[in-house]
Homo-oligomer: A and B are copies of this chain.
Amino acid sequence: MEHDEIRVDRQSLELYCQRIFQQLGVSEENAATASKVLVAADAWGIPSHGTGRLWRYVNGLKSGQILSGAPFDIIAETPSSLVINANGAMGAPVSVKAMEMIIEKAKANGSAFGCVRDSNHFGIAGYYAKMALRENMIGIAMTNTAALGVPTFGRQVMYGTNPLAFAAPADKEEAFVLDMSTTVVTRGKVEVYERLEKELPAGWAVEKTGKPARDARSMLDDMQNRVGGGILPLGGMGKELGGHKGFGLAVMVDILTGVLCGASFGQQVYDTAESSARVSHFFGAIDISRFRDPGDFRRDMDRMLGEIRQSPPAEGEEQVYYAGLPEMERERENDRLGIPLLKKTYDSICGIGREWGIRFSQER
């Protein structure tokens, strides 16, 4: 643990966030769900999506960019499909609800898929994909996001970080949980380089002419002003390292999230000073028992994942990991020792509650 981190009790942290969301008009049930998803990111070791974002959610709820009391409407439903309009609500509660409904449908139907439209930031995609595992299912979750990605050979943002998550259960091994943005990096990583005034690595971003960007500040400014420049797809610049593949994956996510339910996609998804981007999500579940005995599946997964984990590391590396293993190991450790928060995150969240006299029980 780094010495600028403070460990706090998971349930206390969840309860504290919940009380703040409730104070802002979110129902008890939805506030509890939103807090669970937010804190899970810290527990998994993904602080970019954890309580360090609490102030953003609070600001969104205060300004009405996120609507605390919005009911969600089912606008299309069959035994295999679901389309929900979130009407501008918080992303996590409606997403958990959607994934639960899709899992129930997949139990009866074998597989099921659904979209949530007019939603907001839903946290870590892997959380929803992982929900399917307890029912011996494969889980899928995706979301589009505000446009910041530049197509291969292009220079204007046309899509978001558009993460996709895929989870499959194992037996004794930790589950396989892939949760990845389809851009080479997220905006947050570029912002770190901006703060450090470090030159951007080749293959991360282009400036407004479409040439490789080295200065994070000017790239972020140009992107913000929509004059060109942005982050590259997974695979980087051009086609030599497969940038066109990452670009294709990002568009795939935009089709399944935005186009499939008739919501915004591509350039239409962007934050303004007045409003946050209304994003869409896609969820899916596939029942393993329709293909083979789930116990046998889990044992084969153990073998596959064990072989990867035990495969010889490259010189200078310690260990080969599969997707989800570091996160699940960190979650176990953090549940034992407490959820690690950066000092500045700890200070920020303690400050947020003071406005309403809500005190974080772990405050020192």
Q: Which residues of B contact A81 (CB under 8 A)?
A: 110-111, 287, 290-291
User: How many copies are assembled?
Assistant: 2
A203 within 8 A of B: yes
Instruction: Report yes or no: B304 in contact with A241, Cβ–Cβ below 8 A.
Output: no
CA distance A316 to B178 in the complex (A): 36
* A244-B323 contact in complex given A78-B110, A111-B111, A300-B262, C-beta closer than 8 Å: yes
Q: Which residues of B contact A64 (CB under 8 A)?
A: none
Q: Which residues of B contact A323 (CB under 8 A)?
A: 244, 247-248, 251
Chain B residue nearest to A177 (CB atoms) is B248
Q: Which residues of B contact A151 (CB under 8 A)?
A: 308, 311, 320, 322
Q: Which residues of B contact A304 (CB under 8 A)?
A: 251, 254-255, 259, 265-266
The 0/1 profile, CB within 8 Å of B marked 1, for residues 300-331 of chain A is 11001001100111111111111100000000
Name the distance in Å between A171's Cβ and chain B's nearest Cβ. 12
A13 within 8 A of B: no
A57 within 8 A of B: no
A63 within 8 A of B: no
CA distance A117 to B273 in the complex (A): 53
Instruction: Report yes or no: B176 in contact with A255, Cβ–Cβ below 8 A.
Output: yes
Name the distance in Å between A28's Cβ and chain B's nearest Cβ. 32
Q: Which residues of B contact A242 (CB under 8 A)?
A: 180, 184-185, 234-235, 246
- CB-contact partner of A315 in B201, B209, B287, B315, under 8 A: B209
Instruction: Report yes or no: B210 in contact with A314, Cβ–Cβ below 8 A.
Output: yes
A152 within 8 A of B: yes
CA distance A266 to B306 in the complex (A): 11
A3 within 8 A of B: no
CA distance A340 to B229 in the complex (A): 38
Q: Which residues of B contact A255 (CB under 8 A)?
A: 138, 168, 176, 301, 304
A279 within 8 A of B: no
Q: Which residues of B contact A182 (CB under 8 A)?
A: 245
Name the distance in Å between A176's Cβ and chain B's nearest Cβ. 7
| Interface size band for A | 35 or more
Within 8 A of B (CB), among A248-262: 248-249, 251-252, 254-256, 259-262
Max chain B C-beta neighbours (<10 A), residue from A211, A252, A266: A252
Chain B residue nearest to A300 (CB atoms) is B259
CA distance A9 to B79 in the complex (A): 46
Q: Which of the 9-residue segments A18-26, A153-161, A216-224, A355-363 touches chain B? A: A153-161
A276 within 8 A of B: no
Chain B residue nearest to A253 (CB atoms) is B166
Q: Which residues of B contact A316 (CB under 8 A)?
A: 210
Instruction: Report yes or no: B80 in contact with A292, Cβ–Cβ below 8 A.
Output: no
Instruction: Report yes or no: B251 in contact with A291, Cβ–Cβ below 8 A.
Output: no
* A246-B234 contact in complex given A158-B311, A266-B307, A292-B76, C-beta closer than 8 Å: yes
Question: What are 15 A-B contacts defined by CB distance under 8 Å?
Answer: A81-B111, A81-B291, A115-B291, A151-B311, A153-B314, A153-B317, A158-B311, A176-B251, A176-B255, A201-B240, A236-B236, A254-B304, A259-B297, A259-B300, A265-B300
Residues on A lying within 8 angstroms of B by beta carbon are: 76, 78-81, 83, 109-113, 115, 138, 151-156, 158, 166, 168, 176, 178, 180-182, 184-185, 201, 203-204, 206, 209-211, 228, 234-236, 240-242, 244-249, 251-252, 254-256, 259-262, 265-267, 286-288, 290-292, 296-297, 300-301, 304, 307-308, 311-323
